[in-house]
Amino acid sequence: MESNNLLIGLVVSVSFLAVGLLMILKRKKYEANGSKVSAIISDLSLQYSSGKPLYYPTVKFTTVEGVEVTKKHSSGSYPSLYTKNENITVIYLKGDNTNFIIGSKKSVIVEMVVVLIGLGGIMFCLWGLIN
């Protein structure tokens, strides 16, 4: 039974690692091909996902082309990573200002934590399976 739990843990850990790496690749793509502009967190909306609270920031920015954009970010967190009226940087792909990432140290830290959880879980599970 213990080896089944370790295998499940291994699958979950690999999933964390994959999600973290995809987040990093997405950020790198946006940094290489996107436009970086100043923005502000204009609102925080609380929504429940599977019964758990998540705060979604609404971001307001003006594109390089002068178009004003106000949109709720697709990723939420609890507790909120941001505060209302906080100044941030967003990066959007040219020609598609509705899809953007928040280019902050907080976002990079979240990416790294997800990757480290995945790597740590993989090492723990492999160690348990070997011994």
- Rounded CA gap, 83 and 92, in Å? 21
Q: Is 66 helix (H, G, I), strand (E, B) or coil?
A: coil
Q: Which residues are bridge partners to 91 per DSSP?
A: 36, 101
Q: Which residues are bridge partners to 41 per DSSP?
A: 59
Domain range summary for the chain, segments of one domain joined by +: 2-130
pTM of full prediction above 0.85: no
- Phi first, then psi, for residue 74 (nearest 5°) are -80, -15
What is the reported pLDDT for 2? 84
pLDDT digits (tens, 9 = 90+) for 64-94: 999 999 999 988 999 999 999 999 999 999 8
CA separation (Å) from 74 to 14, 37, 42, 45, 99? 23, 18, 15, 12, 9
pLDDT digits (tens, 9 = 90+) for 24-79: 999 999 999 999 999 999 999 999 988 999 999 999 999 999 999 999 998 899 99
- Rounded CA gap, 49 and 101, in Å? 21
What is the reported pLDDT for 94? 84
